[in-house]
Amino acid sequence: MKKRYQYAILRENTYFCGTKISVIQFSSHSLMVRNSRLSNQEFSMNGKYRLQLVYIIIIPMFFLAFSVFYNPFDILEYYSGASGKDSAFHIIMLTSILAGVLAISRTMLHFVLKATDIGWINYIGWCLAEILGMSFFMALYTVLVKADGQNYFQHMAQCLKFSYLELIFIYVPMMLVRAVKIKNGLLEFKKQQDDNSLVRFYDEHQRLKLTIAPSSLLYVKSESNYLRICYLEAEKVREFVLRASMKSLEVPAFAHCLVRCQRSYFVNPDHVTVLRKDRDGFMYAEMNIPNVPAVPVSKQYFALLSELL
């Protein structure tokens, strides 16, 4: 017979909007954040490419303005007269190189964030590698336009100084802005827990589509860009298909006692009677509702789910 539980530790490290929640304890009516800090795990940008466009536009424009108006490290003199062009021409060309590298890097980052979670340390490393890539192509351009007898690596050292020591003045503030937004998102999330008696499902445009009592929810299945929600209504099994991602469901699912049992499934442990393994070694969670198919369970989540039964 399944044991009734009030609280359960979901997992040792859970993350919300790039902020680490070291231990989350929850019941159907509460979620308590005991410790949170920036960590090397999920870095959130809400999956919107326009947020990456901000970086693609602002960073090169900052480099252009900073170089022209402040002339850091005598960058204007460094390129003055190269290939018979004035320094303004070369600064514009370098700005174009930065924009091109950022367009490639930020597009890659956009798809990486859609496919998996990266963290603050990973993101900072990404930014440093991004600037290194800019320096590489800046040095390549400099070798082609400057005939001063210096080799590629000498120009590379100078370009590293131009890029890292200039762009730190824009990267750091933008990271701080992102950190503040993440913190505000966490505070807003904690505020919303005052009214978490129902599970609310929103589509990809954040429009409320379905509201269910946690006890009525059986499982949620991911099907490409859609979620198939299986629940009880008037003692009958119903299904609702919603266009949303599995990742968008993580926080509300954890807050209402749903447990991830497989990459494409969340299940309500209150409706699981037993975990079984078939002859081929595949594991399933049998539900306590007639005619509801067993939910697949992966080895990664088997131990967690079994502890809650």
Span 59-63, mean pLDDT?
95
pLDDT of residue 1 exceeding 50: no
Number of Cβ within 10 Å of residue 191's Cβ equals 9
Integer CA distances (angstroms), 305 to 13, 19, 251, 308, in order: 16, 24, 17, 5
Q: How confident is the model at residue 44 (pLDDT cuts 50, 70, 90)?
A: low
Q: State the number of CA atoms in the 13 A half-sphere of 296 facing the CB.
A: 12
**Contacts with 205 (C-beta within 8 Å, 6 or more apart), sequence order:** none
pLDDT at 250: 76
pLDDT at 49: 85
Q: How confident is the model at residue 195 (pLDDT cuts 50, 70, 90)?
A: low
**Domains present along the chain, CATH in parentheses:** 49-190 (no CATH), 197-307 (2.40.50.1020)
Question: Which one has a higher pLDDT value, 109 or 193?
Answer: 109
**Which of 25-29, 202-206, 239-243, 279-283 has maximum average pLDDT?**
239-243
Q: State the number of CA atoms in the 13 A half-sphere of 241 facing the CB.
A: 4
pLDDT of residue 121 exceeding 80: yes
* Per-residue buried b or exposed e for 209-239, using 16+ beta carbons within 10 Å of the residue's own CB: bbebebebbbbbbbeeebbebbbbeeeeeee
pLDDT at 22: 34
pLDDT at 16: 38
Torsion of CA 262, 263, 266, 271, to 10 degrees: -10
Q: What is the DSSP letter of 19?
A: E
pLDDT of residue 129 exceeding 90: yes
Span 283-307, mean pLDDT?
85
| Cα separation, 271 vs 273, whole angstroms | 6
Q: How confident is the model at residue 202 (pLDDT cuts 50, 70, 90)?
A: confident
Tell me which of 31-35, 79-83, 113-117, 221-225 is least confident.
Answer: 31-35
pLDDT at 60: 95
Tell me which of 41-50, 92-101, 125-134, 244-253 is least confident.
Answer: 41-50
Integer CA distances (angstroms), 42 to 15, 17, 37, in order: 6, 7, 12
Question: Which one has a higher pLDDT value, 264 or 3?
Answer: 264
pLDDT of residue 199 exceeding 90: no
pLDDT of residue 273 exceeding 70: yes
The DSSP element (H or E) to which 37 belongs, if any, is strand 36-38
pLDDT of residue 30 exceeding 60: no
Question: Which one has a higher pLDDT value, 8 or 142?
Answer: 142
Span 179-188, mean pLDDT?
78
pTM recorded for the entire structure: 0.52
**Contacts with 212 (C-beta within 8 Å, 6 or more apart), sequence order:** 198, 199, 201, 229, 231
